[in-house]
């Protein structure tokens, strides 16, 4: 339990119906009592009640505002500490004055995210839930909000805990085998352990897959539009974005900057990048754009390959398509308003795995089909999406990757007949990585970075 009491304005700045000054800590009620005048002092009211009264400056007894005050006694509060919320009239000045009063009476101004940090440190929520708080606040689509809500209620942490429990059971069994070899039944054990490791790898892979989708929902999908000059990349970008954002010209090579637009497709935010076209160039300015385009392509989770459907496929088109074989890609056969020359079969000869969608960036024909294909390729169409999807972030994915790698190493070691303690080293490693998702044994600087993203008062 922290020994100081923190306070902050919990509502956004500006005018509103109500502003809330929140206090948390051992002195929260006592401090609030010194600036509150009501029928009964706050220390004698029941928990989870709102009471009416006045906010006063104790030095002068001057009334600052009418207030409704909520008292949430520990441990039944968000932080598991005593929490007081002063509901004052909305308005910057009133809220600030109320905050100043409680600071003068001994509260300390909270750091960004410090209320949530205390909830985490006091064991009320795990780190993944704390992170999800921010996901809820920042959600840009209905689906992202739902998924963030599930993560906030602990769904993602639960899934991690379930895999961790299975892993822990296996570790315990192996430890027993190491410590009491006389209990060992070699024939059963070897095969069983191999099977359990196999199952664990499968569960971790599935969890990783869901977390990857959860991350796309949370962060948006880095999307690159590629294709040779004049295929219609900028036009498609504009058609999808619904605005003239990129400069469309007839001169090949004029899209020099990499633009990014956040675009909602169904339930997903695409972070769409218009590139300068992937090709060699002697023009240094253009070379910068091309380097950025290459980077955008490398980092993209989705690639829209634009092909001019009204001209024969060029060797350049063919090379680009072949390059996308291992990627989540969609081939956009553009200019469907003109007589078509390129067939989907011709495209499939170079890139058999990708769906091909005919569109006209000029007229907008085919764009709904393209949007549907995007969601399908990502595994995020409403029918295909996991039912209880929760948000996840890059930190979670990195930890899941590391855990998966460790369990795979354990499986290899066990398969090669390594002794139990060797297998255990890898499995304990995996346990640590899964624990880190929930905030166990996590470096303080990591925690600090996570909470520094929060606003004050959260
Ligand atoms: P980029 O170099 O790939 O970005 O191609 P642009 O978007 O700049 O388009 C190149 C040229 O093709 C421009 O003259 C566009 O007007 C034209 N264009 C783009 N999309 C279409 C389309 O769907 N139909 C037709 N007829 N022309 C298009
Ligand atoms: Zn362009």
Is 22 annotated among the ligand-binding residues? yes
Does ligand 1 have an atom closer than 6 angstroms to the CB of 125? no
Q: From ligand 1's centre to the CA of 368, what distance in Å?
A: 19
Task: Choose the residue to mutate in 229, 248, 249, 256 for probing ligand 1, maximizing ligand atoms within 8 Å of C-beta.
Answer: 248
- What is the value of ipTM here, to two decimals? 0.98
CB 285 within 8 A of CB 265: no
Is 277 annotated among the ligand-binding residues? yes
Whether the pLDDT of residue 188 is over 70: the answer is no
Whether the pLDDT of residue 96 is over 50: the answer is yes
Statement: the pTM of the whole predicted model exceeds 0.90: no
Q: Which atom of ligand 1 is nearest to the CA of 363?
A: 23
Give the mean model confidence (pLDDT) for residues 434-444: 91
50-64, 230-244, 295-309 — which is least confidently predicted?
230-244
Percentage of the chain modeled with pLDDT above 70: 89
Residue of 296, 262, 261 lying closest to 278 (CA atoms):
296
Task: Choose the residue to mutate in 229, 232, 289 for probing ligand 1, maximizing ligand atoms within 8 Å of C-beta.
Answer: 232
Whether the pLDDT of residue 196 is over 90: the answer is yes
Domains, the chain, with CATH or none: 6-125 (3.30.1360.120), 133-216+393-438 (1.20.120.430), 220-378 (3.40.50.300)
Does ligand 1 have an atom closer than 6 angstroms to the CB of 229? yes
Give the pLDDT confidence score for residue 288 in this predicted structure: 52
Is 274 annotated among the ligand-binding residues? yes
Is 154 annotated among the ligand-binding residues? no
Beta strands 49-57 and 36-38 are: antiparallel
Looking at every residue in the chain, the average pLDDT score rounds to 87
Sole residue written with tokens 């624990």: 435
Q: How confident is the model at residue 283 (pLDDT cuts 50, 70, 90)?
A: very low
Is 181 annotated among the ligand-binding residues? no
Give the pLDDT confidence score for residue 453 in this predicted structure: 80
Does ligand 1 have an atom closer than 6 angstroms to the CB of 255? yes
Q: How far apart are CA 379 and CA 278, in angstroms?
A: 27
Give the mean model confidence (pLDDT) for residues 59-78: 95
Residues with CB under 5 A from ligand 2 (ion): 233-234, 255
Does ligand 1 have an atom closer than 6 angstroms to the CB of 228? no
Give the pLDDT confidence score for residue 356 in this predicted structure: 97
Q: From ligand 1's centre to the CA of 380, what distance in Å?
A: 29
Task: Give backbone dihedrals phi and psi of 305, rounded to 5 degrees, phi first.
Answer: -95, 110
Q: Of all protein residues, whose CA lies closest to atom 6 belonging to ligand 1? A: 232
Q: Which atom of ligand 1 is nearest to the CA of 334?
A: 23
Contacts 24+ apart (CB under 8 A), 375-381: 375/265, 375/266, 375/267, 375/268, 377/302, 377/328, 377/329, 377/330, 378/213, 378/216, 378/221, 378/268, 378/301, 378/302, 378/328, 379/213, 380/213, 380/216, 380/217, 380/266, 380/267, 380/268, 381/266
Is 383 annotated among the ligand-binding residues? no
Q: From ligand 1's centre to the CA of 354, what distance in Å?
A: 22
Give the pLDDT confidence score for residue 448 in this predicted structure: 84
Q: From ligand 1's centre to the CA of 433, what distance in Å?
A: 49
Does ligand 1 have an atom closer than 6 angstroms to the CB of 248? yes
Q: Of all protein residues, whose CA lies closest to atom 25 belonging to ligand 1? A: 335
Q: From ligand 2's centre to the CA of 81, what distance in Å?
A: 56
Give the pLDDT confidence score for residue 289 in this predicted structure: 58
Give the pLDDT confidence score for residue 225 in this predicted structure: 87
Q: Which atom of ligand 1 is nearest to the CA of 338?
A: 26
Give the pLDDT confidence score for residue 198 in this predicted structure: 95
Give the mean model confidence (pLDDT) for residues 7-32: 90
Residue of 229, 233, 246, 332 lying closest to 286 (CA atoms):
229
Write out pLDDT tens, residues 320-350.
999 999 999 999 999 999 999 999 999 999 9
Give the mean model confidence (pLDDT) for residues 72-93: 92
Write out pLDDT tens, residues 113-128.
999 999 999 999 999 9
101-110, 166-175, 251-260 — which is least confidently predicted?
251-260
Give the pLDDT confidence score for residue 191 in this predicted structure: 84
Whether the pLDDT of residue 420 is over 70: the answer is yes
């Amino acid at each position: 339990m922290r020994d100081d009491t923190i306070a902050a304005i919990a509502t956004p700045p500006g005018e509103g119906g109500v502003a809330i000054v929140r206090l948390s800590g051992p002195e929260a009620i006592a401090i609030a009592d010194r600036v509150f005048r009501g029928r009964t002092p706050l220390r004698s009211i029941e928990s989870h009640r709102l009471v009416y009264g006045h906010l006063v400056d104790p030095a002068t007894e001057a009334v600052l505002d009418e207030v409704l005050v909520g008292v949430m006694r520990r441990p039944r509060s968000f932080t598991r500490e005593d929490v007081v919320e002063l509901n004052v009239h909305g308005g910057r000045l009133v809220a600030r004055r109320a905050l100043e009063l409680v600071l003068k009476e001994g509260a300390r101004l909270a750091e960004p995210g410090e209320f949530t940090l205390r909830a985490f440190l006091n064991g009320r929520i795990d780190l993944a839930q704390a992170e999800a708080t921010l996901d809820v606040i920042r959600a840009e689509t209905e689906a992202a909000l739902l998924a963030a809500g599930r993560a906030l209620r602990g769904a993602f942490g639960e899934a991690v805990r379930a895999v961790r429990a299975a892993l822990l059971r296996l570790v315990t069994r192996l430890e027993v085998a190491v410590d009491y070899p006389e209990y060992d039944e070699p024939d059963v054990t070897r095969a069983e352990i191999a099977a359990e490791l196999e199952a664990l790898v499968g569960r971790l892979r599935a969890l990783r897959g869901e977390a990857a989708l959860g991350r796309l929902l949370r962060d948006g999908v880095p999307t690159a539009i590629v294709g040779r000059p004049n295929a219609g990349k900028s036009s498609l970008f504009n058609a999808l974005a619904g605005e003239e954002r990129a400069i469309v010209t007839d001169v090949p090579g004029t899209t020099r900057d990499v633009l990014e637009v956040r675009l909602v497709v169904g339930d997903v935010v695409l972070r769409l990048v218009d590139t300068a076209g992937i090709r060699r160039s002697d023009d240094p300015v253009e070379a910068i754009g091309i380097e950025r385009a290459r980077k955008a392509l490398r980092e993209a989770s989705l690639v829209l390959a634009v092909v001019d459907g009204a001209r024969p496929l060029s060797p350049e088109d063919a090379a680009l398509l072949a390059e996308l074989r291992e990627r989540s890609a969609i081939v956009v056969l553009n200019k469907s308003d003109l007589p078509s020359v390129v067939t989907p079969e011709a495209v499939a000869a170079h890139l058999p795995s990708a769906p091909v969608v005919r569109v006209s960036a000029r007229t907008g024909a085919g764009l709904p089909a393209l949007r549907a294909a995007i969601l399908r390729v990502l595994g995020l169409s409403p029918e295909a999406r996991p039912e209880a999807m929760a948000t996840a972030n890059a930190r979670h994915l990195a930890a899941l990757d590391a855990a998966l790698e460790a369990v795979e190493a354990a499986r290899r070691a066990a398969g090669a007949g390594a002794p139990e303690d060797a297998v255990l080293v890898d499995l304990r490693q995996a346990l640590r990585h899964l624990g880190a998702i929930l905030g166990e044994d996590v470096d303080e600087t990591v925690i600090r970075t996570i909470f520094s993203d929060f606003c004050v008062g959260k």
